[in-house]
Amino acid sequence: MAKEHTLTVATFNVSMESENYLAKGVAGSPQVLSTLLAEGDHPQIKNIAAIVQQTQPDILLLNEFDYIEDPKVGVQLFIRNYLNKAQSADGKIIDYPYFYYSTVNTGQPSGFDLDNDGQLTNKGADAWGFGQYPGQYGMMLLSKYPINSSKVRTFQHFKWKDMPGALQTTKADGSPWYSPEAWQLMPLSSKAHWDVPVLVNKKPVHLLISHPTPPVFDGDEDRNGKRNHDEVRFWTDYLTPTKSAYIYDDRGQKGGLGEDKTFVILGDLNSSPVEGNAYKEGIGSLLMHPRVNSSFTPQSEGGKAHSLDSPYAATHTAGWRMRADYVLPSKQGFEVLSSGVFWPAKGQPFYELVADRTASSDHRLVWVKLKLTAH
């Protein structure tokens, strides 16, 4: 009888961007993270590595890991100096021979006053995605399975204007929020959207990766809320053949993901169907998509104890009390065996890793264990 093949997939917003490591008001850069990765002894990064070692995911997406142009400095130092070294007394380590790591829109100068404050800074809210420097809040995928790099599709430069029915932002008088010139160039993705095929048993599993902007930190025009909705909606359309014809990737290839494909949606989507400030129909439509298995919701004892006044507390994935991070497999190709949020309650083992946001992150690692079926 053939051995049952299982796959644990996880997402974790790790808050590993340089401004977290500097005094308030000091300008950051990816070089700050590079230095800490080389030194190998930063307590927050050690705790992040310990969480990964305890959960042992086969595939792991890290959100808010600054993009460092040289992977030998970014990815490989993190693996060698943190993940390959036991961070807990039980001696667990983990290794990832494969990774995908690329540029994002955060901190990329736009040349426009996107927040309409009368000042052009080319960073922060005037960048194509909010960031003080290019690559802040980047994304990194780690895998124990080979990545089919030649088939990766990125949508970093897909224009927001090219999404049918895009939620365009307007001023109080009804005029467009963005200038015509800015709107023509504005990317949909605040970071990027990636379709990364990983070869499991020589068959592709498409990892649909993104980190939409938080739907807050704006004004009555709700420009971030509308962008968050459309960034989440992108995957709904990508999975729907009757709606995906408008989509093009950064190489010019058009269309979405074929109906015969197996996938997992991964990332900090910054939206919940029941709480928070996001347009709930965006994430709601994705969760209800006929190809997406949302019959389960990862939970934790720590989240439940953290927000006793919320009926959804056990499903929260962030210390600021909301479900924001998702691992959503396709119905085709998988059976869900178990799932969870790494959030021990006080008194449970490893609680110190999540005791507060400075211990590791203001988010928690979310994991799903899948059994591969015929696909």
| 71 in a structural domain | yes
Digit-coded pLDDT (tens) for 155-167: 999 999 999 999 9
Q: DSSP of 17-30, one letter per residue?
A: SGGGGS-TT----H
| 131 in a structural domain | yes
Q: Are 269 and 283 in contact (CB under 8 A)?
A: yes
Q: Are 319 and 343 in contact (CB under 8 A)?
A: no
Among 15-29, 226-240, 307-321, 340-354, the minimum mean pLDDT is found in 15-29
Digit-coded pLDDT (tens) for 97-147: 999 999 999 999 999 999 999 999 999 999 999 999 999 999 999 999 999
For the chain, the domain total comes to 1
| 225 in a structural domain | yes
pTM of the model: 0.97
Residue 150 CB burial class (10 angstroms; 0-12, 13-18, ≥19)? exposed
pLDDT for res 21: 81
Strands annotated E in the chain? 6-16, 59-65, 98-101, 139-143, 153-154, 193-200, 203-210, 262-268, 325-329, 334-341, 366-372
Query: Could you tell me the residue range of the domain that residue 179 belongs to?
Result: 6-372
CA-to-CA distance for 282 and 236, rounded, in angstroms? Answer: 9
| 96 in a structural domain | yes
| 343 in a structural domain | yes
Q: Hey, is 79 helix, strand or coil?
A: helix
pLDDT for res 78: 97
| 1 in a structural domain | no
pLDDT for res 37: 94
Q: CATH number of the domain at 350, please.
A: 3.60.10.10
- Compute the chain's Rg from CA coordinates: 20
| 290 in a structural domain | yes
Digit-coded pLDDT (tens) for 25-74: 556 788 889 999 999 999 999 999 999 999 999 999 999 999 988 878 88
pLDDT for res 1: 35
| 172 in a structural domain | yes
Count of positions (residues) in the chain: 375
